[in-house]
Amino acid sequence: MSQPACVLLLSGKRKSGKDFIADRLQCRIGPEVCQILRLSGPLKEQYALDNGLDYQQLLDSTTYKEMYRAKMIAWGEEKRSADPGFFCRKTIELAQPDRNIWIISDARRKTDLAFFSENYQKVLRTIRMTCSDDVRKQRGFIFTQGIDDAESECGLDECVTWDIVISNDGDEALLDMDIDHVVRLVQFMYEQNKST
């Protein structure tokens, strides 16, 4: 199993800006050393193969993905019931060895946290994206029963202490300060791990 210098595990509700923040962090840290890994990537790829769907469209924030979201979640839950770390392992198999700062952009379940805590405890930092429902609605969020009240959206709402909480409600100055804080932390961890 690959041993990164730093793992940032991002979590948040739909339309809270997880991918947006992941992209900004990668850009600021440097794409030559930092990569974004999505737990949903292997899930969507296999689901697309099994069902004759367009994998690339399942990766986008589009209505195409939303049409299949509920069935994809149910299918993923079956896989996780049999093996809770299945998608986590599949995701890190895709990691490029020359980029040893990982941003896991979409942790959704306690089993995701458990997997990364058990395997990468010394280099792991957990980050929760917060965003008001009003702002999420402006970004296209519509509450969908069976999705927004399911474990994939609510599994990490309680009983989790996050290392960092980032507010993504549209205040750019606050968001930049939060991102600066994370970037400095990553740089410190990266230097520490290079010297050991």
Binding residue ranges: 13-19, 139, 168
Angle at 188 between CA 183 and CA 193, to 5 degrees: 125
Q: What whole-number distance in Å separates Cα of residue 162 and Cα of residue 174?
A: 18
Residue in 141, 149, 109 with CA at minimum distance from that of residue 126: 109
For 20, the token pair is 């947006």
Q: What whole-number distance in Å separates Cα of residue 159 and Cα of residue 84?
A: 19
Q: What whole-number distance in Å separates Cα of residue 32 and Cα of residue 126?
A: 22
Annotated binding site for substrate: 168
CA distances from 52 to 46, 55, 101, 132 (A): 10, 9, 34, 36
The helix (H) or strand (E) run that includes residue 56 is helix 55-59
Annotated binding site for ATP: 13-19, 139
Per-position b or e across 106-137, b if 16+ CB within 10 A of its CB? bbbbebbbebbeebbeebbbbbbbebeeebbe
